Structure 1
Amino acid sequence: MAACAFRRSIASQLSKVLDLPPESLIKSISAVPVSKKRCVADFQLSIASITEDSSSSCLSQDLNLQAQKLAERLKCDAVVSEISAGPGTVNFTINRELLAKTVLQQVLKEGSEYGVKSELFSAVPKQKAVIEYSSPNIAKKFHIGHLRSTIVGNFIANLKVALGHEVIRINYLGDWGMQFGLLGVGFQRFGDKEKLKSSPLQHLFEVYVQINKAAEDENIKELAKDFFRKLEGHDEQALSLWKQFRDFSIEEYIRIYKRLGVRFDEYSGESLYQEKSQEVLKMLEDKGLLQKTMQGTGVVDLSDKKDLSSFSTVMRSDGTSLYITRDLAAAIDRMNKHQCDTMIYVTDKSQSSHFEHLFQILKLMGYDWAERCQHVSFGLVQGMKTRRGEVVFLEDVLDEVRARVLQNMASAKTTKQVEDPMDTAEKVGLSALIIQDFRGLLSSDYQFSWDRALQSRGDTGVFLQYTHARLCRYDEVLYRSSQDLQPKHIVSYLLTLSHLAAVAHRTLPVKGSAPELAQARLCLFQAARSVLASGMKLLGITPVTQM
């Protein structure tokens, strides 16, 4: 009888008084957020959620009166120790001893499955989701934005898997396009095959920077266009060089993702869809959606009104494909291949317009499933610098955070001897990056701070008495995150739980207590640790046992 059972018990009593089925009341009963300043109830019923006519005048006054009358008709029992009316709500406080005992028993019994079995998810159908995230561009910076896409996508995938959904994790590489015309010419001029093998991302980036400077020369631009035309035309020599760029880069990406604890089911890429994008252009033409401009480029009109046209360019004047054309081909191919219920794209918010166009064109082409496609966008990270300067590669960030944590461990008096300090520092450092990133709304830009990321103390003054109550609300936090795909709800919960556990650790000693009391307190800490570990794993954090 944890959170679910408490809701059921409250719903059962309400059902008799209101003459409504208990099932229809359960979702109207929500946990009350913990307050640091005052004691609050554990659960509350919103009167508006069970009132059919909630648009009448004097609404708030009516709701307050209804709440007062309903509270007076309800009685306390073995489960509910106090009932009161609030502004438009009826509040329920649970019997403290029963709450602590039942919640701890359920946490310890269900372990990592605690929370995900909640009846809050019973009405949510199990789905198959394709999630595209990380998606770096070969030869360009694998920067902090890619870190955000990687950890956010990994969180969404972890959460969906934990809730019983089937997930296909796709890394859609930027491995095609005009930049490979430049890179091909650049490598022929400035490339080194040994450097390409030993440090592909670094070397290709250096070559790309050099050839971009040289591309002010019109001759270089023409050579780049010619190289890309050869790629699109399956020229053997051009394709062989391009394949080396791609294969060596993927090897290095896999090594970096391993450090992050991230994996993918598929490494896809734009290159796979260069031919299918021509099929998409033919489909657009057959449906009368493809229009030609005076310059010869192909566009699709997305406007409802013909006077305010919004065009999306889908073809160059020479007939070659664009990023959006390849994305259209990829979306159609994935849906045919996986027959999924939803497709989620995790990228920064600068690409919002691109995905709006993508989904609109798919709808115009007659694909109803475009309604089930979703772009999860995130803001920009500012101020990320390592000791060596501006961040160029993700690996620079991982090396920096590991070095800083090792330094902190060496200088801290409380640091224990650990078997593998390097591995511990890596995991702790990654936790610091993830938590700083996930604390706010994903759509918000934020200023990165190494000091803030790595500080060992957070908020203070959190009250102890609601530790048990906070534990029983984990399922609601998971439910909120599953609805809006925002990790901040879980982060906020885990941080509060950590502060409460720290206060409990100081004030509820296990050693030296009477055996029965010691056992109860040990159960509390085991339960807190179990929930903390489950939540951390969802966020992509590997819990450490010593640090």
Structure 2
Amino acid sequence: MMKMTNDKQLATQALAAVLDNALTESEITNLLEIPKKPEMGDLAFPVFSLAKTLRKAPNMIALDIVEKLSQDGFEKIVATGPYVNFFLDKSATMTSVLSAILEQGEDYATVAPNGEKVAIDMSSPNIAKPFSIGHLRSTVIGDALAEIYRKIGYTPVRINHLGDWGKQFGMLIVAYKKYGDEAAIRQHPISELLKLYVRINAEAAEDPTIDESAREWFLKLENGDAEALALWQWFRDESLVEFDRIYQELGVTFDSMNGEAFYNDKMSEIIDILADKQLLTESEGATVVELEGFENPALIKKSDGATLYITRDLAAALYRKRTYDFAKSIYVVGQEQSGHFKQLKAVLDKMGYAWSEDIYHVPFGLVTKAGKKLSTRKGNVILLEPTIQEAVKRAQAQIEAKNPDLPNKAVVAHEVGVGAIKFYDLKNERLNGYDFNLEEMVSFEGETGPYVQYAHARIQSILKKADFKPEAVIGQSFSLSDDESWAIVKLLQAFPDVINRAARLFEPSAIAKYAINLAQAFNKYYAHTRILEESSEKAARLSLAYATGVVLKESLRLLGVEAPEEM
């Protein structure tokens, strides 16, 4: 794979050569900024950190540095107050960036496999409950992180840690035995089970004996009671049929579907290890691990002997380390579980597992509807399957209006509708929640998935009209003099840095926002430039369009969104 010149590296090396070890190369790189205004240059180095050591005014330090710097590889380097501003050699940079993308295509910014695995605990819906918009965030954030990590050399392992165990199954069994209609459940399993779950929870709020019965049934389930296990298996099997259908709609697959129940026979080993290491103590009849710096201990077993989430998560963490030998283990779970994952890491650390440092909780904010929190227990949910159907229907209506003769309209509408829902979720910084708005999601205008998809399709149309072949221009030099093409080149050059930042911060929104910026930059260029007009710049203009199309498509792919050739 061809290595493209990194201008941050070039600036870092130039600065390191004249700073006499006052800063390390990594310190210099971290200080480099992109100026807010293009006329201030392409990179800026603030010298404030050198003022104390050199005992000089920052603006004088900047002037001294510029005098000593080699200008090789740059159009010019100037001192502006306390900054050293670097202006890139536009022709050299444009040729370097476009050539890399022309040669590598979708492999641009791809790092060779490093042999290390990243386990990603994602999606994890609860059995016997419908797949709602609330489950979407974990699913699409986890799926995007898997592709982002694959892009930088890791092997992702997608794990769907199904919520198929716990007291809620005791609650559901109580509800089924009290009001259940087997025929109705077989006909409409999830909706009927949801009705039972909502009804029993409403009653439990008034009658504490229901909660007690639910605990008793869950304990029976843990102890292998035949009736409890048969009902649980039935609820699980019916749920997976629906989940599989929705995952197919979303285009999401998993390497493991081992849910909480899978670890039922693996918890005794955890308890034995904790006991051997003398970490267990008793508190009000329950078995706990005391943790320094925590308000409460980690509750390992309740007084009735029932296990908890943390017991199963400890077993899961150990199983995953043994099975996958992960370099990182990522849990894409809502931010309300932050305390739980801090306890999980702390207990693993006390158990002597140094790899507890490789566990990362990746929290996210809530999806709301008209500003209100969604709740399955209260029956206030937005179901995902009908939402996808409505999004596809809206996409199809817009396609019919804009391009009625488009071939494969149904396929494209599905790609646009599903992509719109995913992109809207992923463009939000994950810690920020968002209010669900389907009309805004599926719009072809604004900062949306369809807007980015449409920019990509427009580029493919231009390239098709020109019969552009990337192999025909490889090896050429490229030079365009306008500011709009230069803005695109700088964005294309930044793509590898954006991917690394998204991985480092577990933040797919960095890619989504980048895709929006690139689509906007290209649309601005397209509005002011006759790309297909015959001139000495035509090859460079088409190469720029091709490179933009490649990177837009790859950005969307990393987010799990399709890029139709026509729309």
Shared fold (TM-score greater than 0.5)?
A: yes
Alignment of 1:261 onto 2:251 = yes
**How many angstroms apart in 2 are the aligned matches of 1:438 and 1:33?**
25
Name the residue aligned to 2:281.
Answer: 291
Does the alignment pair 1:543 with 2:563? yes
Report the CA distance shift for 1:286/1:451 in structure 2 as closer, same or farther (over 3 A). Answer: same
In structure 2, the partner of 1:41 is 41
- Give the conservation status (yes or no) of the 8 Å contact 1:2–1:103: no
Partner of 1:518: 538
3-state SS of paired residue (1:102): helix
Match of 1:66 in 2: 61
1:14–1:22 contact (8 Å) kept in structure 2:
no
Q: Deviation digits for residues 479-500 of structure 1, max 9, x if unmatched?
A: 2112111122222221111011
Indicate the residue corresponding to 1:99 in structure 2.
93
Aligned partner (choices 484, 488, 495) of residue 516 of structure 2: 495
User: Corresponding residue for 1:417?
Assistant: 405
Q: How far 1:438 sits from its partner (Å)?
A: 2.8
How big is the shift at 1:15?
Answer: 5.2
Which position in structure 1 is the counterpart of 2:193?
A: 204
Superposed, 1:383-462 pairs within 5 Å as 383=369, 391-410=381-400, 412=401, 414-458=402-446
- Name the structure 1 match of 2:148: 159
| CA drift at 1:248 | 2.2
* 1:68/1:429 CA distance change after superposition, 3 Å: farther
Cα deviation, 1:108-154, whole Å, max 9, x if unaligned, reads: 1111111234xxxx9x9663211101111112353323101111111
Letter matched to residue 56 of structure 1: K
Distance 2:380 2:35 in 1: 41
In the TM superposition, residue 69 of structure 1 has moved relative to its aligned partner by: 1.1
8 Å CA contact 1:273, 1:326 repeated in 2:
yes
Q: TM-score, normalised to structure 2's length?
A: 0.84
- Which letter maps to 1:127? E
Structure 1, unmatched stretches of 5+, are none
| CA shift digits 1:65-103 (9 cap, x unpaired) | 3222111222434x3112122465422212222222221
Are residues 167 and 195 of structure 1, via their aligned partners in 2, closer, same or farther at CA, if it must alter by over 3 Å? Answer: farther
- Note if contact 2:117-2:326 (Cα within 8 Å) is conserved in structure 1: yes
> Match of 1:172, SS?
coil
CA contact (8 A) 1:510 1:518 kept: yes
Distance 1:242 1:74 in 2: 71
- 2:52 corresponds to which letter in structure 1? S
Rounded Cα–Cα distance in structure 2 between residues aligned with 1:47 and 1:181: 64
Deviation at 1:318, TM superposition (A): 1.0
Q: Which shows bigger deviation, 363-372 or 272-281?
A: 272-281
- Confirm or deny: 8 A CA contact 2:270 2:314 kept in the other structure: yes
Asked if structure 2 preserves the Cα contact closer than 8 Å seen for 1:116 and 1:478, the reply is no
Residues 491-514 of structure 1 show CA distances to partners (whole Å, capped at 9, x for unaligned) of 222111101111222222233423
Kindly tell me: are residues 25 and 350 of structure 1, through their superposed partners in 2, closer, same or farther at Cα, counting changes over 3 Å? Answer: closer
1:278 pairs with 2:268: yes
- Rounded Cα–Cα distance in structure 2 between residues aligned with 1:155 and 1:521: 31
Q: Given that residues 510 and 521 in structure 1 are in contact (C-alpha distance below 8 angstroms), is that contact kept between their aligned partners in structure 2?
A: yes
Q: 1:21 to 1:195 in 2, by over 3 A?
A: farther
Q: 2:71 aligns with which of 53, 56, 76?
A: 76
Secondary structure of the 1:266 match is coil
Q: Check whether the contact 1:186–1:211 (CA below 8 A) recurs between aligned residues.
A: yes
Q: Indicate the RMSD between aligned Cα atoms, in angstroms.
A: 3.2
When structure 1 is superposed on structure 2, of 148-157 and 89-98 the one drifting more is 89-98
Deviation at 1:523, TM superposition (A): 1.2
Amino acid at match of 2:255: D
Relative to structure 1, the CA distance from residue 343 to residue 8 in structure 2 (aligned partners, 3 Å threshold; closer, same or farther) is closer
Length-normalised TM-score, structure 1: 0.86
1:466 CA displacement: 1.4
The question of whether the paired residues in 1 share the 8 Å contact of 2:140 and 2:560 is answered with yes
Alignment partner of 1:312 is 2:298 = yes
Structure 1 residue 320 displacement after superposition: 1.2
State the distance in 2 between where 1:474 and 1:237 align: 56
Q: Is the 8 A contact 1:384 1:390 kept in 2?
A: no
| Maintained 8 Å contact 1:297/1:316 | yes
Amino acid at match of 2:434: Y
- Measured after TM superposition, the shift of residue 315 of structure 1 is 1.3
Q: Which runs of 5+ in 2 are unaligned?
A: 373-378, 452-482
Give the match for residue 532 of structure 1.
552
In structure 1, C-alpha distance between the alignment counterparts of 2:537 and 2:22, rounded to whole Å: 41
Partner of 2:225: 235
Q: Which SS does the other structure have where 1:66 is aligned?
A: helix
How far apart, in 1, do the equivalents of 2:43 and 2:404 lie?
A: 41
Matched residue of 2:273: which SS? helix
One of 355, 360, 368 as aligned partner of 1:374: 360
Asked if the contact 1:34–1:466 (Cα under 8 Å) also holds between the matched residues in 2, the reply is no
Where 2:264 maps in the other structure, the secondary structure is helix
Q: For residue 262 of structure 1, report the CA deviation from its aligned partner.
A: 0.9
Q: Matched residues, percent identical?
A: 33
Q: CA contact under 8 A between 1:145 and 1:348: conserved in structure 2?
A: no
Deviations 1:172-225 (A, max 9, x none): 011011111121232234434455455433232122123334444455445433
| Residue in structure 1 matched with residue 530 of structure 2 by the alignment | 509
Relative to structure 1, is the Cα distance of residues 45 and 240 closer, same or farther in structure 2, using a 3 angstrom cutoff? Answer: same
Residue 447 to residue 218, structure 1, CA distance change in 2 (3 Å): closer
Q: 1:406-429 CA deviation, whole Å, 9 max, x = no partner?
A: 23333x3x3353333333222212
Quote the offset at 1:331 in angstroms.
0.9
CA contact (8 A) 2:484 2:525 kept: no
The aligned amino acid for 2:282 is K
The number of aligned residues is 525
* Contact 2:333–2:363 (8 Å) recurs in 1: yes
Counterpart CA distance in 2 for 1:105 and 1:160 is 25
Query: Residue 136 of structure 2: which of 144, 147, 159 is its match?
Result: 147
Q: Using the alignment, how far apart are the partners of 2:273 and 2:24 within structure 1?
A: 48
Note closer, same or farther for the CA distance 1:297–1:141 as it changes in structure 2 (3 Å cut): farther
Identify the range of structure 1 (332-341 vs 189-198) with the bigger mean alpha-carbon deviation.
189-198
